[in-house]
Structures are given as C-alpha cells and as structure tokens.
Amino acid sequence: MSDELARACEELGAWLAVAETLIAEPDIIPTARTTGKPGSRPPWNASVAYAITDAHAGLRQLENELRLEVTGRHHWPGRGGSDANTIGSMKAIAAMGTVVSRQQAKEAARRLAHWADQIRQLPAVDDKEKWEKIRAGPDGMPPRCPCCRNFSLRVNMTRGLVSCWTPDCADEDGRRPQARMEINRVDGTPVLVWRGVA
C-alpha cells in the first residue's frame, strides 16, 4: 500500500504542476454571456485556483492527520503555504505510507486521487470524465435505476450517457446498467435507451 500512496502523491504533484500553468488562462466557453462591469472578474482562472488551493490545504490536513496517527503528538506546528511546503507534505505523506494501517493508507490515497481528479475535470484540462447526479424531476425526486430501483443514477453530459453507481447493480448481461441519451423521433422529447434492460 505504501507504493500506492507514493504513486498517488506523485500523480497529484504532476497534476498540480499542470494546474499551475493554467491559473492565468481563462476558460473559453463560447456560449457564455458576460455580465457585470468590464474588469469585474478576477484576472485568473478561479476554478483552477480553487482546485489548487483545495489540494494545498487538503495535503496539509492529511499530513497532520497521519502525523498524529504515527507519532501521537498533537503539537505538530504544521507547514506554511509555499509550494515547497506542499511538496514537503506530499513527501511526508508518501513516507508515512509504510507505517500507517492499510486502511489509513487506502483512505489517504483515495483523498489524493480526489484532488487530482478535481484538477483533471477542470474545463481548462478536461482529462477526466465527469459523472454528476441527475437533478430531481417534476415530482421532486431524481429518476430510479431500472435494475436496482435506487436513486443512484449519474449522467456524463460529455458522452451522453447515464449509468447506475450502486456498487452491485447489474443489468441482464451482468454489466453496470448504462443508457444513451437520445431524442424521441416522434415528439422530440429526451429519452434514455438502456443497454441490456428489458
């Protein structure tokens, strides 16, 4: 597990470096309309800045939690806000992967991957597909999965797919239930065409 934690630190470090190069580049959304006074928006990419600061703050918090677990000391002074200190946090986290429990190392790797994914999902990067919860319908409830009947459907707008995220849910072919978003040719309403669901 220590190798997995070290790899997660390395991957996050690489994505942070990518994000740093994009912080001055605005997202380009052709259909967006600008509102407000000219010059009222910050001169940086706010979504990139938030992803970077989330990772920087999260790394320090994670390091503090692991240090407490390893040493039992509550009085670790912590690290400052520089990039060098962020790198120091990642190195310390990777090193502590050899002494914390397997469960703690797994949870730490999951958190590191989450921060890397936040960067990968940025419009300026667009390297990871984004699956989002489906909004509630007119009845106030989101749609149910046709297989497990749970409210666990997620939509990937980029690919036009809907999928169930309940861990053990499967369609008639034993695969995760998945549907394509299409338009009804008769009345033009949106429909889901499910794979392997009768």
Residue 162 belongs to domain spanning = 129-198
> How many structural domains does the chain have?
2
Residues 78, 60: Cα–Cα separation, whole Å:
7
Within 10 angstroms of residue 115's Cβ, the number of other Cβ atoms is 23
Asked whether residue 172 falls in the same domain as residue 90, the answer is no
Buried-exposed string 27-63: b where 16+ CB fall within 10 A, e elsewhere? eeeeeeeeeeeeeeeeeebebbeebbeebbebbbebb
Residue 35 φ/ψ, nearest 5 degrees: -125, 165
Digit-by-digit pLDDT tens for the chain (198 residues) are: 568 899 999 999 998 998 898 888 776 654 344 455 555 566 788 889 999 999 999 999 999 999 999 988 877 788 888 989 999 999 999 999 989 999 999 999 999 999 998 998 888 777 666 778 888 888 889 889 999 999 999 888 877 889 898 878 888 888 888 898 888 888 888 788 888 665
Amino acid present at 123: P
Asked whether residue 33 falls in the same domain as residue 96, the answer is yes
Asked whether residue 83 falls in the same domain as residue 170, the answer is no
For Cα atoms 194, 153, 138, give the angle at the middle one, nearest 5 degrees: 95
Asked whether residue 138 falls in the same domain as residue 102, the answer is no
